Amino acid sequence: MILPVVAYGHPVLRKVGEEISAAYPDLDKLIADMWETVYNSNGVGLAAPQVNRAIRLFIVDTVQVVEGFDDEDRRKYPNEQPIKQVFINARRIDETGDVWAYNEGCLSIPKVREDISRKRHIRLRYMDEQFTEHEKDFYGITARVIQHEYDHIDGKLFIDYLSLLKKRLIKKKLDDISSGKVKTDYRMLFPK
């Protein structure tokens, strides 16, 4: 089932997600619905807070991004290792490497894209959908998508990295999103 994506301004987007166990109600269905939702909205990642669940769960699929690389992208990111993966109860162990800017957007903040600086590498400890624990390093575009989704489970948004001036410049757009004055190709849940 395609779930509505929570819009900017909804309080669930600012909550720190709670850890879950394998007994979380209908977890398999929630994960399947999140995959359906992210593909329906042409996203590359989706966190549970974006579908109104304040839990530490997110999904990432960078395969489509890497398969769509043009020649310049292949030169810039020659060793990109795409993933399609579920992350449960993720905890950041480390972020290292050069800081680099990349134009990011978010399904919860439609029609807003900004250059965001992040480190090139992240190391995470997390569980997969079978609750097997992993500790793994991610790099490049895949690390960036993971960092973006990880921020969601910590109650952060990509716009939090913007300067005060940039935030002022997009304030009207953000106000329009939170008041439901935005058109998207996917269902949204707006703050009341």
| Neighbouring C-beta atoms of residue 188, cutoff 10 Å | 19
Report the 10 Å Cβ neighbour count for 131: 12
DSSP 23: T
CB count within 10 Å of CB 187 equals: 12
152/41 Cα distance (integer angstroms):
17
Tell me the residue type at 27.
L
CA distance 89 to 135: 12
* Catalytic residue from among 18, 80, 104, 149: 149
Radius of gyration of the chain (CA): 16
- Look-up of token digits 């779930």: 3
Tell me whether residue 149 is one of the annotated catalytic residues: yes
Q: Report CA-CA distances (Å) from 20 to 138, 142, 163.
A: 23, 24, 34
**Active-site amino acid positions:** 149
